[in-house]
Structure 1
Amino acid sequence: MKFFIIGLLTTALVSCGTNQKKETKKNTPQKDSVKYTRNWESLKKHKTPDWFLDAKFGIYCHWGPYSVPAYETEWYAHWMYVNKDNPEAKKGKAHKIHDYHVKKYGPLDKFGYKDFIPMFKAEKFDAAEWADLFQKAGAKFAGPVSEHADGFAMWDSDLTKWDSKDMGPKRDVMGELSKEIRKRDMKFIATFHRHWLFGWYPTWDETTDASKPEYAGLYGPKLKKGDNKMPKSKHQLDNGDQSYYPVADKDFNDEWLNRLKEIIDKYNPDLVWFDNKMDVISEEHRKEFLEYYYNYADKNKQEVVSTYKFYDFAKGSAIYDLERARMSEKKDFPWLTDDSIDWNAWSHISNPKYKSTNRLIDFLVDVVSKNGAVLLNITPRADGTIPEPVKERLLEMGQWLKVNGEAIYGTRTFEIYGEGDAKVVEGHLSEQKNADNTSKDIRFTTKGNVLYATVLDWPQEEELVIKSLKKGNTLNKNRITSIQMLGNEGDLKFHEKEDGLHIVLPKKTGKHAFCFRIN
């Protein structure tokens, strides 16, 4: 009997695989957590909390081992394995990154992505300093990328040794940031890309380290090239994309879900954000995540938000999120857009092209006027420092919000989002198609009996004319008693005329969008 028991224990330990540090019990909702059940109709009953409707602006960051090479893109971990003979190399910079990697670091069987992890030391990372910057920038919610497509967890995980506590920085990045962010009365968020990992690395290619079983905990399960494929998401098929990508098996689905449950149990995030391509995960696992998260929060009297892209969750069960994009019109539902401070990449790279502060503020104002919120990505270096141009832009945004925040935070939409010449091009990754705004572009928000009109550039004329508020208009049913410009003392003269509301402009103060409080 003794030998039989030892044999069973040995088998159990071997079955844990390379991905786990130790055997852990599965996370399951408590039996009394029954407010939400695992079906879309039940999950749609979850209400968007007021804190999210009021917050409008958050910050997150792509930061991990991919920050070490700092070359071209946060997708370095993928493209470094794609040589010129790979069909994917047709996508532009692919084999350029492969050639760069081999030339600088060596062949992929000698120096793979795993070898960047010891170089990712984060020796200058200061969670308090980051949280101070986020607060000064005016963010109301913030957090790191919990796990990117590279498979490296940025928290102290019991499910894998490939995490920031055991390797690289040897620090619990999420734990440190969650404490410092919450100290400053901001909401803490977790963002999650792990579903991209299935097929991210060429685990079938025996000429690379990605094929070796001892690294499966980082690189993902061993696949056959071209195996386990299915059409892309409904959104992509609807838009004519007939390419294919892998569909995850049960083990990968379970690991995806258990990592999320661990994040929830350890860090209580107020918002869990997902990148697209989540339909590689089974619908049942996606529903189980929302069931677990919403019930966990309900039990702890915490108001939470989850997001999704395209068709990954049922409409109404979470907040719809866009990527590098915005809406062209006001929506009757709250939504989010995630955008990067760098036009070129989501992580720190050697040749950044940062957006101007003016562009970032105009984007925020436009999004808020249409019932949206902005999640702005920033790009820390591998050592944990934040580039000075990024800091400068965040602090300038914070200064603007200090003066004009009452036209943003806690506001709701007007009858129309605004007026002006700017035409917004909608669609995934469409932001570069949208031109800068001018003084003709005015955006509206409301709070009680106050209407805010924000003009996105300073008019050349002596008067600001708001055509939508012309004499006898049906949009504003209240009599205007006074008007002020935020950041200026005193009331402004105004006249309601047939062609619009004329506001006599004061002396210009400030450099970006200009907010007028119409009482």
Structure 2
Amino acid sequence: MKNRGLMSVFAVGLCAVLGRGVAVAGMAVQREDSCVMMDVAQAPLEGGRLVVGFELLHPGDYVVQLVHAPENAETELDASVEVDGSFLCDKPSRSYWIEEGIVSTFNTAVNLAKAGTHTVSVACDAKPLKVRLVPQVYFQSRITVGSENYYAEWIQMHASPEKQAAMAWYKNARFGMFIHWGIYSQAAGSWKGTKIEDSGIKGPRVAEWLMYTFNIPRAEYREFAQQFNPDKSFAKNIAKLAKDTGMKYVVITSKHHDGFALFDSAVSDWDIADATPYEGDLIQELYDACRAEGLAFGVYYSHGHDWMEGCDADYAKVKAKNDRYGVPTRPNGKNLWDPSPNPYRDYLEGKAYPQVAELIKRMPELRLIWFDGEGLISEAEAFRFYKTIYDLNPNIVVNRRVGYEYGDYMDAGDNTTPKAGELVAKYFETCGTANHSWGYKAYDHDWKSTNQLLRNFVDIISKGGNYLLNIGPDGSGSVPEPCVESFVEMGKWVKTNADAVYGTTRWTHFSENVNPKKNAKSVPGEFWFSAKDNKVYAMSITPAAESVRIESLNAFAGNVQKLRLLGSDQLLKWKQTDAALEIDFSGIQTDVNGFVIEATLGE
């Protein structure tokens, strides 16, 4: 700590040199995944501090991480960090392993408000191998950022023409249906007369975690599968509902954490064809139905968790290693009550990798694979899932939960929309529920209103993301009527205002006059914005008053040359001032769920 004053002077001097555009050897530049990796293994450290410069492309909130070789991490670290001369007052805590070593994180985030050159200085009793800058949203969401061992190969695949074309489709699609459906749907949130909330066993209280939350033995759960025999109308009904809601793609749980496959798998008999009375392949049927409706198709696949055939997901072995170095191990999602006797490696080689390949080979038009439960899989294993998919079909988009940030985009978290400072990361998606549970729970009647779903939707659209909205059909495949009604009503708004949704991007403003509280009631005067070329869309989810003011579209935003009410051919009268765009709505009636204004801007 005694070197802080001297080091601050050095850091300021270095910033001044860099600010004049002088090249500095080895300066790190922010990567595609928004992380900055600074190799300091060869940098001199003689009782003082390391200073490294880096080029930031995306302003936002970041945390600093140190990577140490295991032999230098057995004792508590004494370390301090300054970013642009500002001292972080907390101590680093060990977070996780990567192939390069052990990652420790300073919990205090630093806001880097401007792109350009910045510096980090580090004093540490044990010299790190790397200093890393990671978006805070990754740390908040417990996202593990991998080493650089696979990054060059990953970025080559991610940046390929096929993958970028797939990402262009995905970004334009904006709105999809998530479906959580399986054996657990038949139980409807209860087991032997006890609701999942009253199980007495710690765990998520959502229906699809039934086997875990009741610690149901594998043999007993297999027997229960005989009760799952859905109606043959499932696929066509679901595809039609997605189309009526204005969705462009569908993603269904081909295999959730219980390990049960909704498709006929050649590598496991724990599937729809062998473990239930149903005659058919539910994934193939829904794939065909979605294509008939013009919808893209994707599958969810739980690769890290498999409570039937995935043993304890290597929990005991990983925990023993972590405990030695003080790295936390989260047991959530691991089968510790009745694990299968096979090694975890056998599960990956004999089931997980082959099933992913089966899905790709059977469905040549598969557009997305949504992984979950990465848990304790290694960096090499996560990368192999990504590479396996790319090698078989490079046109498939992969979500970040494949592990170690090797996905093509990130999720903001369940039912979570990122804040402005968190948008430094890759393109994002929010997956959300229509009530509380993802899978079917017969007594969960707390349905979100159409207006609340739209509020979530326009917030996501304004920040440039996708909304993957979930349904949980019952054991027969039927969707609860309140969910159907709100989805269809939502679809009317989406279809009327499609120009503001599909193919749009963020504007210079996300919103105005919006109450940021979760589940806030919508009121007049709230607007969310999106943009396309020289057009700006102002989205409201309440009916228009006789006079409407949009402050963000004042004269300084650009000259409004044309104004259009989407879904209407009625002419609007408006006046643009330095304070706001003022629109006369007298005599014009708008929908109960609001309206969208398209403003064409000129010079």
Deviation at 1:229, TM superposition (A): 4.3
Alpha-carbon distance in structure 2 between the residues aligned to 1:492 and 1:231: 69
SS in 1 for 2:272: coil
1:431-510 correspondence runs (5 A) = 433-459=518-544, 461-471=545-555, 473=556, 476-477=557-558, 479-506=559-586, 507-510=588-591
Q: Which runs of 4+ in 1 moved over 4 A?
A: 90-94, 108-111, 221-226, 245-248
3-state SS of paired residue (2:485): helix
Spell out the pairing of 1:253-332 with structure 2 (5 A cutoff). 253-254=348-349, 255-268=351-364, 269-275=366-372, 277-298=373-394, 303-309=395-401, 312-314=403-405, 317-321=407-411, 322-329=413-420, 331=423
CA contact (8 A) 1:362 1:513 kept: no
Distance 1:63 1:363 in 2: 23
CA–CA distance in 2 between the matches of 1:157 and 1:224?
21
Rounded to whole Å, the distance in 2 between the matches of 1:422 and 1:162 is 47
Match 2:455 to one of 362, 368, 371: 362
Shift of 1:90: 8.2
Q: Give how far 1:143 is off.
A: 3.3
C-alpha deviation, 1:457, in angstroms: 2.1
Question: Cα–Cα, structure 1 residues 392 and 221, in superposed 2: closer, same or farther, change >3 Å?
Answer: closer
Deviation at 1:377, TM superposition (A): 0.8
Q: Write the distance in 2 (CA, Å) between the matches of 1:251 and 1:462.
A: 67
Please say if 1:384 is aligned against 2:477: yes
User: Does 1:182 find its partner at 2:313?
Assistant: no
TM-score when normalising by structure 1: 0.73
CA contact (8 A) 1:361 1:513 kept: no
Gaps of 5+ in 1: 1-35, 103-107, 201-218, 425-432
SS in 2 for 1:51: helix
Structure 1 letter corresponding to 2:275? M
Partner SS state of residue 350, structure 1: coil
Does residue 1:62 correspond to 2:180, yes or no?
A: yes
Amino acid paired to 1:513 = G
Of 284-293 and 133-142, deviating more is 284-293
Distance 1:49 1:156 in 2: 29
- Return the offset for 1:242: 6.1
Distance 1:176 1:92 in 2: 30
- Indicate if the aligned counterparts of 2:433 and 2:470 stay in contact, CA closer than 8 A: yes
Q: Distance in 1 between matches of 2:561 and 2:233?
A: 51
What residue identity is the alignment partner of 2:286?
Answer: L
Query: 2: distance between equivalents of 1:489 and 1:337?
Result: 33
Aligned residue for 2:167? 49
Instruction: Name the SS of the counterpart of 2:178 in structure 1.
Output: strand
Change (3 A) 1:288 1:229: closer
Shift of 1:367: 0.2
Asked whether the 8 Å contact 1:456–1:513 carries over to 2, the reply is yes
Counterparts of 1:109-124 in structure 2, within 5 Å, are 112-124=220-232
Match of 1:396, SS state, is helix
Structure 1 residues 493 and 194, CA gap change in structure 2 (3 angstroms)? same
More deviation in 330-339 or 258-267? 330-339
Per-residue CA deviation, residues 360-406 of structure 1 (Å, 9 max, x unaligned), is 11211110110100111101110122221121122112211221111
Which of residues 240, 243, 251 in structure 1 aligns to 2:346? Answer: 251
Larger relative contact order (Cα-Cα within 8 Å, sequence gap ≥ 6): 1
2:241 aligned partner:
133
- For residues 51 and 378 of structure 1, the distance between their equivalents in structure 2, rounded to whole angstroms, comes to 23
Residues in 2 aligned to 1:320 and 1:55: alpha-carbon distance in whole angstroms: 16
Q: CA 1:90–1:285 in structure 2 vs 1: closer, same or farther (change >3 Å)?
A: closer
DSSP-derived class of the 1:498 partner:
coil
Would the aligned equivalents of 1:38 and 1:291 in 2 still touch at CA under 8 Å? no
Q: Residue 413 of structure 1 corresponds to which residue in structure 2?
A: 506
Distance of 1:375 and 1:155 partners within structure 2: 22
Q: Equivalents in 2 of 1:465, 1:232: separation in Å?
A: 60
Deviation at 1:480, TM superposition (A): 1.1
> Equivalent residue of 1:42, what SS?
helix
Code of the aligned partner of 1:253: L
CA contact (8 A) 1:151 1:220 kept: yes
The reply to whether residue 339 of structure 1 matches residue 432 of structure 2 is yes
Shift of 1:284: 1.6
Q: Measured at CA, do residues 439 and 242 of structure 1 come closer, stay the same or move farther in structure 2, by a change above 3 Å?
A: farther
* Corresponding residue to 2:596 among 498, 512, 515: 515
Paired residues for 1:31-46 under 5 Å: 39-45=153-159, 46=163
RMSD over equivalenced CA pairs, Å? 3.5
Structure 2 gaps, min length 5: 1-149, 336-342
* Residues 424-462 of structure 1: CA deviation (Å, up to 9, x unaligned): 6xxxxxxxx453443232111112222110023235x43
Following superposition, the deviation at residue 160 of structure 1 comes to: 0.8
Read off the aligned partner of 1:71 and give its amino acid letter.
G
TM-score of the aligned structures, taking structure 2 as reference length: 0.64
Q: How far apart in 2 are the matches of 1:290 and 1:399?
A: 37
Matches of 1:92 and 1:379, distance apart in 2: 14
SS at match of 2:487: helix
SS at match of 2:304: helix
User: What is the CA deviation profile of residues 326-381 of structure 1, one whole-angstrom value per residue up to 9, with x for unaligned ones?
Assistant: 11228364211111111244334333321111111121111011010011110111
Cα distance in 1 between the residues matched to 2:260 and 2:457 = 31
Shift of 1:37: 9.7
Letter in 2 for 1:449: N
* Residue 141 of structure 1, CA deviation: 0.4
Shift of 1:61: 0.9
- 1:280, distance to aligned residue in structure 2 (A): 1.9
* Structure 2 CA distance for aligned equivalents of residues 282 and 225 of structure 1: 10
Cα pair 1:59 1:143 within 8 Å, conserved: yes
